[in-house]
Amino acid sequence: MKEKILIVEDDKDIAKMLEYNLKKEGFKVITASDGEDGLDLAVRQYPDLILLDLMLPGMDGLEVCKALKKESKTGLIPVIMLTAKGQESDKVVGLELGADDYVTKPFSPRELIARIKAVLRRAAEKESLSEIFQVGDLSIDFAKISVMVKGKPVELTAKEFELLKTLLKAKGRVLSRDYLLDTIWGYDHALEIQTRTVDVHIRTLRKKLKTAAKMILTVKSYGYRFRTEEE
Q: Is residue 19 one of the residues assigned to a domain?
A: yes
Highest mean pLDDT among 93-107, 148-162, 183-197: 148-162
Q: Provide the pLDDT confidence category of residue 215 given band limits of 50, 70 and 90.
A: very high
Q: Is residue 187 one of the residues assigned to a domain?
A: yes
Digit-coded pLDDT (tens) for 64-101: 999 998 876 788 889 999 987 665 677 778 788 888 88
Question: At 13, which CATH number?
Answer: 3.40.50.2300
173 and 110 part of one domain: no
pLDDT the model gives residue 188: 47
Q: Is residue 104 one of the residues assigned to a domain?
A: yes
Gyration radius of the chain over CA positions: 18
Q: What percent of the chain has pLDDT over 90?
A: 50
92 and 32 part of one domain: yes
Domain that holds residue 111: 4-125
Is residue 25's pLDDT more than 50?
yes
Q: Is residue 38 one of the residues assigned to a domain?
A: yes
Is residue 56's pLDDT more than 80?
yes
196 and 112 part of one domain: no
Q: Are the CB atoms for 5 and 29 separated by under 8 Å?
A: yes
d(CA 99, CA 145): 19
Tell me the β-bridge partners of 29: 5
Final residue before a domain boundary, out of 92, 125, 158: 125
Question: At 137, which CATH number?
Answer: 1.10.10.10
Q: What DSSP assignment string belongs to 24-84?
A: HTT-EEEEESSHHHHHHHHHHH--SEEEEESS-SSS-HHHHHHHHHHSTTTTTS-EEEEES
139 and 68 part of one domain: no
Number of structural domains (the chain) is: 2
Q: Provide the pLDDT confidence category of residue 134 given band limits of 50, 70 and 90.
A: confident
Q: What percent of the chain has pLDDT over 70?
A: 89
110 and 184 part of one domain: no
120 and 145 part of one domain: no
Mean pLDDT for 188-192 is 46
Q: Is residue 213 one of the residues assigned to a domain?
A: yes
pLDDT the model gives residue 133: 81
Final residue before a domain boundary, out of 94, 125, 156: 125
138 and 202 part of one domain: yes
d(CA 136, CA 139): 8
Q: Is residue 108 one of the residues assigned to a domain?
A: yes
79 and 152 part of one domain: no
Q: Provide the pLDDT confidence category of residue 205 given band limits of 50, 70 and 90.
A: very high
pLDDT the model gives residue 217: 95
Final residue before a domain boundary, out of 79, 106, 125: 125
Q: Is residue 231 one of the residues assigned to a domain?
A: no
